[in-house]
Amino acid sequence: MKQSYCKTTIVILAILTTTQALFKGTPEDAKLNFTELGHKYGHRVEEYDVETEDGYILKLFHIPGKKKGPVLLVHGITNTADAFIIRGKKSLAITLADDDYDVWAGNTRGNRYGRRHTHLNPDIDKSFWDFSFHEAGYYDLAATIDFILNATGEKNLRSIGHSQGTTVHFVLMSTKPEYNEKIEIFIALAPVAFLNHLKPPLSTVLELGPIINLDFEDLGLEELFRDHDSATELMKILCSQGIIGLLCYLDVFSPLSGLDPKRVEPEFYEVIVGHTPAGTNRKTLVHFSQVSLNKRFAYYDYGLSKNLQRYGSSVPPSYDLGKVMARVALMVGKNDSVATVEDVDILRKKLSNVAGYYLLEPELWNHVDFVWANDMDVYLYPKIFSVLQKFEEHNACSNDI
């Protein structure tokens, strides 16, 4: 009887909160896509379709800049290119564009801008979702880089990734070493390769990964957090409203990224909820779970028999980070619950060409502050622009010789 009463109370609360949301409305920036946000903040945006070697069709956004070369932005898990522009004038995409960089913002398969394929239908073809962050690096990032270089006529570009956006870079540069020459400098924001030092609740979630995976398989769930799915939309509505929004922030958002209430104010949190989550899949989450549980940055583990067929060994091989020859600048947050200082140190020791290591000064700087903090212009951008400027000067000197 008591349990039934609690469920009824929750349903009533959800209805009341949803009704409140409908009357209150949502911030405009929560409803605008990348192109619309670009226009709102003073820039023309071009859209292109990038087709990967295995048939996925990904949306690529371009804010043209004439004076400085191409810079590619690559988002994290459950996000899209929108992550780099929803902060408006303070966003990284707009800040780079205002400084006349040639800005390109990519997307990986499975999010709202990457649910197309040459012959697979994501709504009915299970095989569409048979990928992890490995394919996002090996195919998606490779195709995106090639498209940009072909469009611009440049030999290489500068790239900035956040979270999983860094993971896919390490995958690409270690599995297709020729791409190291196509990346002049890679700026890794909250770099994720090793997940050995996670703390609860994230560590608990990943420890339960195998069990959760079995449940998802039994339910036939391959796509997760689908954009415009009724459950996802209800969650977004609830998590942008009053006390429930505060609970979402404190009980879900902050524990997974690191609590830093100063830098993501309630008004902007409503904008975030309008854009995130934007879709991912079961296999990607399982792959990250394996990286954490096995304490190895390795290929996907299919089990003994399939591993033998695919890899010729009982366990999947580790990604050979010794093949990552492109210059890499690592930017780390002291309070990052995902890309911990300890795990980035492991990565740092395995990379042979670290062009810089930057520990953000604020004690509470967390995983999402790299894309959404309200003071990125104070603590983060000077470091990013310093790295970019260094390589602009290097190129200028090289051209003078």
Confidence of residue 394 (pLDDT cuts 50, 70, 90): low
Instruction: Quote the tokens at residue 296.
Output: 């190895």
Candidates 51, 169, 53, 70; CA nearest to 114 is: 51
User: How many angstroms separate the CA atoms of 375 and 106, rounded?
Assistant: 24
For residue range 239-292, list pLDDT tens digits in order: 655 555 555 655 455 566 677 878 988 889 889 989 988 999 999 999 999 999
Candidates 64, 65, 69; CA nearest to 399 is: 69
Residues 6+ apart with CB under 8 A from 310: 302, 316
User: How many angstroms separate the CA atoms of 264 and 243, rounded?
Assistant: 16
Amino acid (1-letter code) at residue 392:
E
User: How many angstroms separate the CA atoms of 319 and 245, rounded?
Assistant: 39
pLDDT greater than 50 at residue 137: yes
Mean pLDDT of the chain: 88
Q: What are the structural domains, with CATH classification, of the chain? A: 32-195+322-400 (3.40.50.1820)
User: How many angstroms separate the CA atoms of 271 and 266, rounded?
Assistant: 9
For residue range 140-197, list pLDDT tens digits in order: 999 999 999 999 999 999 999 999 999 999 999 999 999 999 999 999 999 999 999 9
Confidence of residue 20 (pLDDT cuts 50, 70, 90): very low
Residues forming the active site: 163, 367
Dihedral angle over CA of 160, 164, 167, 168, nearest 10: -80
pTM beyond 0.85, yes or no? yes
pLDDT for position 391: 81
pLDDT for position 249: 54
pLDDT for position 207: 87
User: How many angstroms separate the CA atoms of 269 and 241, rounded?
Assistant: 10
Cβ density class 155-172: b for 16+ within 10 Å, e for less: ebbbbbbbbbbbbbbbbb
SS3 86: coil
User: How many angstroms separate the CA atoms of 103 and 99, rounded?
Assistant: 10
Q: What are phi and psi of 33, to 5 degrees?
A: -85, -175
User: How many angstroms separate the CA atoms of 225 and 277, rounded?
Assistant: 6
Q: Are 123 and 308 in contact (CB under 8 A)?
A: no
For residue range 319-374, list pLDDT tens digits in order: 999 999 999 999 999 999 999 999 999 999 999 999 999 999 999 999 999 999 99
User: How many angstroms separate the CA atoms of 384 and 397, rounded?
Assistant: 20
Burial of 207 (0-12, 13-18, 19+ CB in 10 A): middle
